[in-house]
Structure 1
Amino acid sequence: MLRPERMSKVSVAGSRAVMKPVIDAIHDLNLVHLSDYDGSWEGFDNGDPAAGAEAASEKLVTVRSLQSILGVEDEDAGPSRIVDDEALDEELAEIQSEVNELDDRRSELRDELREVDDRISSMAPFAELGIDLDLLGGYDTLDVRVGEGDEEALRAALADADSVDEFELFGGDGDVVAAFVYPADDAGEGALDDALVGVDFAELDVPDAEGSPEEYLEELRHRKQQLESKLDSIESELEEIKVDAAGFLLAAEEKLSIEVQQTEAPLQFATTERAFVAEGWVPTDRYDDLVAALDDAVGDRVEVEELERAEYTEDGHAAHTEEVDHDDAEDDAAAASTGDAEEEPPKAATDGGTATATAAGSSSAVTMADDPPVIQDNVKAAQPFEFLLEMINRPKYSELDPTLILLLTFPAFYGFMLGDLGYGLLYIGVGYLLYSRFEDDVFRSLGAIGMWAGGFTALFGVLYGEMFGMHFLGEIVFPSGSPPMHKGLQPAFSYYGQAWLVASLLLGLLHLTIGYVFGFINDLDHGVVESYLEHGSWATLMIGLWTWVFSRHLEGAKPDMLYTSFGPQGEHTALNLGFSGLPEAVGLFVGVPLLAIGFLTMVYGEVKHYGLMGILIGGLESFSVFGDVLSYLRIGAVILAKAGMAFVVNLLFFGVYVVDGEWHFATSHAPSYYAEHGYHGHEVTEIMFGGLLHGGIASAVAGVFILVIGHLVVLLLGVTSAGLQGIRLEYVEFFDKFYEGGGRVFSPFGYDREYTAED
């Protein structure tokens, strides 16, 4: 689970006479991730597309264009079908002719409709003005301006303008104004425009028409209705075609996609005039399936060889390669370039080897250089969390896959921070809806992650005794009447808040240690010493430092909560786990030496990389082992923050009274009632808030609104606080210790049929 699925580099070589059935067999198997030949072998070139590739590509473009025009979706498919070449040509041509004709008519109508809409928009202000269009122009000495603006401002500007002898303004129902102006005899060209500078007036172009604008506008609107009716008719015709042709088009696209894949596959092969070599990656435990499929297709007319089962370093070089037993390897080393398609073909060199390589009898001396693709090998429960990795990048083949650790930590962090049965059940419900109602892998992954996070939130909610911020679960679930844990928000349980801060530090130490261990394992190909200097020294430094921190050496200078939170300290103990700090001797004689060894070896590693500058770099970076662990304090902080938000929402609605440092929500009576009568024989020492529920009908209605909206806000902020903080701890703190990513996606040569049946 922590390693990707083991991959094997395979090679298939043979005469070009059998290349097509080989391609068909590999495609049907949908198992081999083909490698691209880079032209580096002497005597070999990239193959040419098979006959029909160009025609199939053109048809595929046509089919996808028709799907786009008709708006065909996957759900329109209907039952799968067999689509032969003759039916494809005839039916496709018929659909194309009909659809293109309707689409052209639709485009023309849309263009005309846009033009009519533009004319309606330009005519509407003139209809509002109510002056015939032929009266708004054509004068020799009269200048007419129509626009939208402030009529009084326009009037004042024209009255003050020396370039205007006389003018008259006409206003419509809105802010449209027509100005009829006699310019002064000595007014030059543009004088009127100068007079209107600074006036709130946007001039409108007078349409090229005559008569009443209202009548003209009515004609335009009538024409628009006609166009929309014709357009609706065409849309209906296209919809009818879609209903009839959608299944065929989806099946045709699938058939043509397969055909294009198969005919263009030789472009990835190394070929000579008579032979070919194809290489690729296949899951190791499926290699025999590939051999069997090719044997059924062409018998012994091709040579199939498993070249290597390799693990790879960060630089892409093979490491820890497992030797693969090739039977009669030397006999299989005949040069592929001498194959004869007209006779029984000789056995081709399965590595595409040059004459030099094959003469040496080496069947795997030359291969196409590429890294293996990555198939993450995770249990079903962990697979949705692969989505969180892919947001950064999938793991490299040489890296440990942290998906399982994400499954074990992220939901637990999330639930620990929120810890509420009500919120947890809602998260589970929303997650289930995403998982069950959507087919998209992203939504299904988010839904599954939501259900996991919700499950842990509900679990911790029971342990905290909380449901929507209320504390009644303890009395119902636990015989003692009190939950085993508290969030620590209340004064009476404040020591729990301190305990969760200490627990956050311990979680951080464990989480980061796992990260360093992963990094150490990833780099073992560089040697144990190098891997220790790169990762182990940091882990040693961190463990040594925090061993000393949790020891009783100089305990007076350290927070008491380190020793009181989980030890037998009476009322200040949150959970009595018997831990009251490591002995002073452990801190001095274990922690300090580990700290020193880790620091010196870490600095030595930095010096090896950066020279003497590494001393400064290592000294400065050494503080990160302290800060990285402190970063996990955000877990305890979010616990208190989310509890505080839920408490405020319930406080406003129910009201709260205080008894011996414990806060109680006034669910059955107003807080004043308990102030007068006490609470189970205990005196109420304070009323924090009377509660909207107990303030009358209007107050209660407002309270219900605040209660619902408030808890929805807390629910959503749980995603942005607990969710993002948890993701940050995974991505920034944990992954930084070992993870780079950048693995290749496994894309097997083949097609998962959905709409077509095998011929």
Structure 2
Amino acid sequence: MLRPERMSKVSVAGSKRVLESTIEATHEMGLLHLSEYDESWPEFDLGRSLEGAEEVNEKLVTVRSLENMLGVAAEDVDERIVIDETALDDELESLRAQVNELDDRRGELRARRRELDEEIAAVEPLVDLGIDIDLLGGYDSLVVSVGEGDRTAVEAALENSDAVDVFEVMSSGRTHAVFAKPAADATGDVLADALVGIEFATLSVPDAEGSPEAYIEELRAEKASVDSDLEAIESDLDELRAEQAGFLLSAEEHLSIEAQKKEAPLSFATTDNAFVAEGWIPTDRFEAFESSLTAAVDGPLDIDEIKRAQFKSNGDHHVEDADQSPAGGDSPAVEEPAAADGSGEPEEARADGGVVTVDDQPPVVQDNPRGSGVFEVLVGAVAKPKYSEFDPTFLVFLTFPLMFGFMIGDVGFGLLYMAIGYYLYSNYDGGLSDIGGVAVWAGGFTAFFGILYDEVFGLHPLSEPMATYLGLPVLHKGLKPEYAEWALAWFVVSVLIGVVHLNIGYILSFVEDFEIHGFKEALLESGSWILMLNGFWLFVFSDLFAGAKPEFLFTAFSGAPFPFGFEGFSLLVGQVGLAVTGVGLVLLALGSWIEAVEFLNILVNVLSYTRIAAVLLAKAGTAFAVNLIVFGAYNEGGNYHFIFLSDHIPEGAEIMFGGLMPGGTLGFIAGLLVLLVGHSAVLALGITSAGLQAVRLEYVEFFGKFYEGGGRAYLPFGYDRSYTTTDE
């Protein structure tokens, strides 16, 4: 729960003649997380891919290219098939030829369509000129230019040009056709030279006859034909996708599996005649792995459990010798096995699987109970836990929904969060599904606290508080004047939540330090913070210097509002608290004087938890404001009542706001709209305020005490089939 599954390092060594059968059996079991050979053995080389790996990868590239061209998606397939290896090449080649032919034709048609669009766009400005296209060029004694620009500037430029003898400009809007007769001694492009620097953008005139309108119609007719051909091509491709999606996805999966198997030796240590493969498996699966692999491989094979990883994190090889500790045992960690001659030096690595060849950290398989596992998505957003450290997932499961529900505390919003969460959880996979599970838990606690607060969308709909029907205590958020002391009390409660939460973090840190370094280091590194944190807050809640402390610290649990009879710790407890704080500070300085300058974290970190109360009041106030605008409210004797939900307004009551709904039909419609939009905003703010603030407290204040992350995911050698099956 707080630790990952126990992992064992396994060595599989054997003759090369059983290499392929060993790979096949290991892949089928899907248990071994392979370690990459680091080429540290002088007599062993890095393995090579099996024969045929290059051909398999080429086919895989072809399949994925075809999937991309056809737009194949996972939802296009609803059954698993068996791949016929003998027919795969022919089927793939035939499909490749069909798809390439259709795709090439589609590319040609799309290119022609773009050309037609460009040509139509070029001819459209000529329509208003009213001149046939063939009259805009082809003269022996005239030069013609068509373009868009300022006619006045064009005419002035032509008037001033010595190269132009006579000219005529025909216009429609900003489109002009310029006809000019060059002077007898003119050379070059006289119109282009004359119009240099003038606002005149030349248009391309196509080589065609007839009016621009008729030519555009011809182009559009051709474009319609191209579009029709494109639709036919797309239809043919859609039919191919529907027919071949299953084959392509199954072929991709089959080839991916084959590629995995053929490239597996790239992680092995090999000689001309032997191989050694190492990796990690859950300790409680080793015996099943060993017996299954031995039964599947007919030949010389040596399978050894080299070591079992301990839950320690100081960077050394904290492992148990597999021969000295039973699976799942708690015996002390030992280093690499010493040489048989008693020299104390680590035994030189051998190819018989007896000594570890690759010094890598074990992968992590988080071991969380059903229900709390969805909170791994919140932990994973920071980083996967290291194998050597505590997994905080279960603690986040216990605290995050509690803080979230406490801050929102509304039955209506809680049920909505649960509905949204259930939809995500049941309709999606992976991270979205896990987020949905988190939302279900958070919504459940929101609804529970809503019962205690007697609140449904900011309203109190029943004549008696909901909690009284269940025999539970009734809580108040503190918005009403008569319950004002509750608002201050929630800040005190938030502080206590912070003290408890941080204590858990420091205790986990203490345990880790104790396991790694022993009691002294644990006391200096983590125990010092535990002493300072608890000593300081014992002082804060004591009568020592009570006059300088806020009064609500002592009244919140003595009847205003909680009737627990607590009015503060005694002077002696306060003095002891200060002394304990001082001892903790001295211990911290002895361990790391640089860290001692951060001693104020015992105050700052705890006060950070007051954001819980702040969000509680902000959400309640926002929901109240929406309801006030919609329903209106009056104040009677220091208490408010919503006008629209009341039978009558007592005489002498103070109207706080008249409201929209009491204002007739139009007011009712406007009020309903504001109600929906307003509470939708409150629903969203619950996520962006309560959700993010709770996550921040987990990540920054809590995780920062004991958690680093950075673990490796457990990715066993194997494949989870989705589209293929080995059953005939």
TM superposition score normalised by structure 2: 0.89
1:403-439, CA deviations, whole angstroms, 9 ceiling, x for partnerless residues? 011111111111111111111111111111111122x
Deviates more, 1:420-429 or 1:204-213: 204-213
Kindly indicate whether residue 691 of structure 2 is the aligned counterpart of residue 723 of structure 1.
yes
State the alpha-carbon separation in 1 of the partners of residues 472 and 35 from structure 2. 64
1:519 aligns to 2:509 (yes or no): yes
Change beyond 3 A, Cα 1:162–1:239: closer
Partner of 1:386: 376
User: In 2 relative to 1, CA 111–160 (structure 1 residues): closer, same or farther, beyond 3 Å?
Assistant: closer
Question: 2:216, 2:456 → 1: CA distance?
Answer: 64
* Matches of 2:179 and 2:680, distance apart in 1: 64
Q: Residues 441-491 of structure 1: CA distance to partner in whole angstroms, max 9, x if unpaired?
A: 111111111111111111111111111111224626244899711111222
CA distance in 1, matches of 2:180, 2:539: 97
* Alignment partner, residue 334 of structure 2: none
Q: Which residue of 1 aligns with 2:703?
A: 735
Superposition deviation, residue 66 in structure 1: 1.5
What per-residue deviation string (whole Å, max 9, x for no partner) do you get for residues 335-360 of structure 1?
A: xxxxxxxxxxxxxxxxxxxxx95699
Three-state SS of the structure 1 residue aligned to 2:366 is coil
Hey, what's the Cα distance between the residues in 1 that align with 2:568 and 2:64?
69
User: In the TM superposition, what is the alpha-carbon distance from 1:52 to its structure 2 partner?
Assistant: 1.5
Residue 394 of structure 2: SS of its match in structure 1? Answer: helix
Q: How much does 1:255 deviate?
A: 1.4
**Partner of 1:644 in structure 2?**
621
Shift of 1:548: 0.9
Residue 195 of structure 1, CA deviation: 4.4
Deviation at 1:700, TM superposition (A): 2.0
Secondary structure at the aligned position of 2:508 is classed as helix
Match of 1:457 among 427, 446, 462: 446
Q: Which runs of 5 or more residues in structure 1 are unaligned? A: 328-355, 608-613
Note the C-alpha offset of 1:75: 2.3
What is the rounded CA distance, in whole Å, between the counterparts of 2:244 and 2:418 in structure 1? Answer: 41
Larger mean Cα displacement after TM superposition, 254-263 or 2-11: 254-263
Is 1:177 aligned to residue 154 of structure 2?
Answer: no
In the alignment, the residues of structure 1 paired with residue 569 and residue 181 of structure 2 have an alpha-carbon distance, to the nearest angstrom, of 100
1:33 partnered with 2:33:
yes
The equivalent position to 2:668 in structure 1, one of 700, 707, 723, is: 700
1:346-745 map, 5 Å: 357=347, 364-438=354-428, 440-473=429-462, 475=464, 477-479=466-468, 484-524=474-514, 525-568=516-559, 573-589=560-576, 591-607=577-593, 614=594, 618-619=596-597, 621-669=598-646, 673-674=648-649, 677-678=650-651, 684=653, 686-745=654-713
Partner of 1:695, secondary structure, is helix
| 1:16 aligned onto 2:7 | no
How far off is 1:238 after superposition?
Answer: 1.7
Matched residue SS, 1:753: coil
Superposition deviation, residue 578 in structure 1? 3.0
Residues 1:76 and 1:191: Cα distance change in structure 2 (over 3 Å): same
How big is each residue's C-alpha offset from its partner over 1:566-608, in whole Å with a ceiling of 9 and x where there is no partner? 223xxxx12223322222211112x10111011111122223x
Residue of structure 2 in register with 1:338 after alignment: none
Matched, 1:215 2:214: yes
> Is the partner of 2:714 in helix, strand or coil?
coil
Runs of 5+ unmatched residues, structure 2: 162-166, 327-345
1 CA distance for matches of 2:90 and 2:284? 44
Q: Percent identity?
A: 48
Give the conservation status (yes or no) of the 8 Å contact 2:307–2:319: no
Residue 631 of structure 1 aligns to a residue in which SS?
A: helix
> Distance in 2 between the 1:360 and 1:76 partners?
51
* Map 1:74-223 → 2, pairs under 5 A: 74-127=74-127, 130-136=130-136, 144=145, 146-147=147-148, 154=150, 168=169, 170-172=171-173, 176-178=174-176, 180=178, 192-196=195-199, 204-207=203-206, 209-223=208-222
- State the shift of 1:381 in Å: 0.9
Query: Residues 374 and 431 from structure 1, CA distance in 2 versus in 1: closer, same or farther, beyond 3 angstroms?
Result: same
Question: Matches of 1:182 and 1:645 in 2, distance apart?
Answer: 76
TM-score (norm 1): 0.86
Distance in 2 (CA, whole Å) between partners of 1:553 and 1:324 is 60
2-side partners of 1:96 and 1:587: how far apart? 82
* 1:279-358 to 2 correspondences below 5 Å: 279-298=278-297, 301-311=300-310, 313-314=312-313, 316-319=315-318, 321=320, 323-325=322-324, 357=347
Structure 1 position 6, deviation (Å): 0.5
Q: Which amino acid aligns with 1:592?
A: L
Distance (Å, rounded) in 1 between the aligned partners of 2:17 and 2:293: 14
Amino acid at match of 2:584: G
Checking the alignment, whether the CA contact within 8 Å between 1:305 and 1:326 is kept in structure 2 is no
What secondary structure, in the 3-state scheme, does the structure 2 residue paired with 1:259 have?
helix
Name the CA shift for 1:413/1:229 in 2 (closer, same or farther; >3 Å): same
> RMSD over aligned Cα, in angstroms?
2.9
1: CA distance, partners of 2:103 / 2:685: 48
> How many angstroms apart in 2 are the aligned matches of 1:277 and 1:181?
87
Instruction: Note closer, same or farther for the CA distance 1:669–1:300 as it changes in structure 2 (3 Å cut).
Output: same
Residue 337 (structure 2) aligns with: none
Q: Tell me the SS of whatever aligns to 2:171.
A: strand
Contact 1:163 1:183 in 2 (8 A): no
Counterpart of 1:223 in structure 2: which amino acid?
Answer: E
How many Å apart are 1:299 and its aligned residue? Answer: 5.5
CA distance in structure 2 between the partners assigned to 1:379 and 1:179 by the alignment: 82
Shift of 1:254: 1.6
Give the deviation of 1:48 after TM superposition. Answer: 1.4
